[in-house]
Amino acid sequence: VFMVRLSRSELHSSVDDPVLGSMSFLNGIMSRYPDAISFAPGAPYSGFFADLDVQRYTDRYLDYLVDVEQHTAAKARRMLYEYGPSRGLINGIVCEALRRGDGITASPSATVITAGAQEALFLALRVLFPTGGQNVLAVTNPCYMGIVGAARILDIPIVPVAEVADGIDVDSLEASCIAARDRGQRIRACYVATDFANPGGSRMSRTGRQRLLDLAARADFLILEDSPYGFTVAEGDELPSLKALDTAGRVIHIGTFAKVCFPGARVGYVIAEQPVGDGGRTLADEIAALKSMVTVNTSPLGQAAVGGFLLEHGGALADANRRKADHYRRSLTCLIDALDRHLGTGGQSPVSWNRPVGGFFVRMQIPVVADLALLDISAAKYGVLWTPMSLFYLDGSGDCQIRLSCSYIDTTQIESGVERLAAFLKKEIGL
């Protein structure tokens, strides 16, 4: 039988992009070393899944459709199993939870429920970047792979901007805006993770947030705000989101229920209230129109699970979040303490790490190149996995850094994982 052989050069350039390759490598390495302790995935702690009861949430959501939205029981059932509106089903419940929990006021019709935050990022980029224009996307360096991958698939050029402890370096971003203008380009949008960025761990201060909003107005760009780790903040230490501070319609706010509910539901959302043209349409309308040609609608079953989960928590996520936030902060503290005990030598050590107060990630500097070959040695000989930070940098830097995630494993595993990591660094690098 003659099988057609395709040439890579005839496929879209993104299939050869290192970002897409790294993602599958990382997914693969966990299955190649199933017994290794993994500081690699930014996935939520699976111990939380034991309490989930999808059937109960679905029933709860069905009751809501009947009691609150006044559908008949038969119609409510059909809504779960049929195709649904591209904009989503649980928009009202999500907006109410955001109003109570995050101080974000958004209208359900300006919100689109997406297949995770990833689809929201993808669709927002597609809508905002016209074909063949001179528009570029600014992102922090290092940056979350999901936005880089989406931009590559969409042929959107990226400008990396330095990340400091306060998040994106607003002065460098301003310089990038000017440089882009001088090249005949313009920064159309800037992607930022406001709280405890993945992978850098940075958190924007209140002043930093305001400065970014001011620059967006001055330099005329939109902000894609993504904050999946904001919920891990300690009580009383919360900062307003960019969306909550935005008075000029510069922010497109993207969220996910992957970490606070469960990622398998594949439910996220985008709030895009910006008016488009004079006909009363909003950016959310355009995003929903594109979505109807990509995933058609977000699975009603996933939405019912998340909707019911939110309703069960009184329509707000505060309590559910609090328990999880406390867990993740304990894990983060455990990781940092273990690093201090096993690898800290009072500032003299050739390894060092940052100390974020929330989120899932610690960034460690080591004195050798942390590439995939070194990761293989770490996994095969020492049974510990981590992520090379160079995968997240867009300018070839960060090659002597690793990312350690505390989210996927429990504190006992974190403790033995750090012991293994210390043994690996001491033996292989001669610390």
Ligand X SMILES: Cc1ncc(COP(=O)(O)O)c(C=O)c1O
Residues in the site for ligand X, rule: CB under 6 A?
A: 42, 116-118, 144, 146, 193, 198, 226, 228, 256, 258, 263, 268
Min. distance of Cβ 258 from ligand X in angstroms?
A: 4
Q: How far is the CB of 345 from ligand X (least distance, A)?
A: 32
- Using CB atoms within 10 A of its CB, is residue 242 exposed (0-12), middle (13-18) or buried (19+)? buried
Looking at the Cβ atoms of 172 and 198, the one nearer to ligand X is: 198
Nearer to ligand X, 90 or 258 (CB): 258
Of 231, 225, 300, residue with least CA distance to 267: 300
Measured N-to-C along each axis, helices 54-67 and 300-312 cross at an angle, to the nearest 10 degrees, of 80
Question: What is the rounded distance in angstroms from the CA atom of residue 380 to the CA atom of residue 33?
Answer: 7
Q: Which is nearer to ligand X, 383 or 401 (CB)?
A: 401
- Cβ-based neighbours of 316, under 8 Å, separated by 6 or more: 96, 97, 100, 101, 310
Place of tokens 């979350």: 144
The distance of closest approach from Cβ of residue 296 to ligand X in the complex, given in angstroms and rounded to an integer, is 17
In this structure, which long-range contacts are made by residues 58-61, counting pairs with CB atoms below 8 Å and at least 24 apart in sequence? 58/301, 58/304, 58/305, 58/308, 59/308, 60/307, 60/308, 60/311, 60/312, 61/90, 61/303, 61/304, 61/305, 61/307, 61/308, 61/311
CB of 114 to ligand X, least distance (A): 8
Minimum distance of ligand X from residue 115's CB (angstroms): 7
Q: Which CB atom, from 177 or from 404, has the smaller least distance to ligand X? A: 404
Residue closer to ligand X (CB basis): 65 or 147: 147
Locus of tokens 């909550």: 244
Residue of this chain nearest to ligand X (CB atom): 116
- C-beta closer to ligand X: residue 142 or 383: 142
Q: Please compute Rg for the chain using Cα positions.
A: 22
CB 233 → ligand X: shortest distance, Å?
15
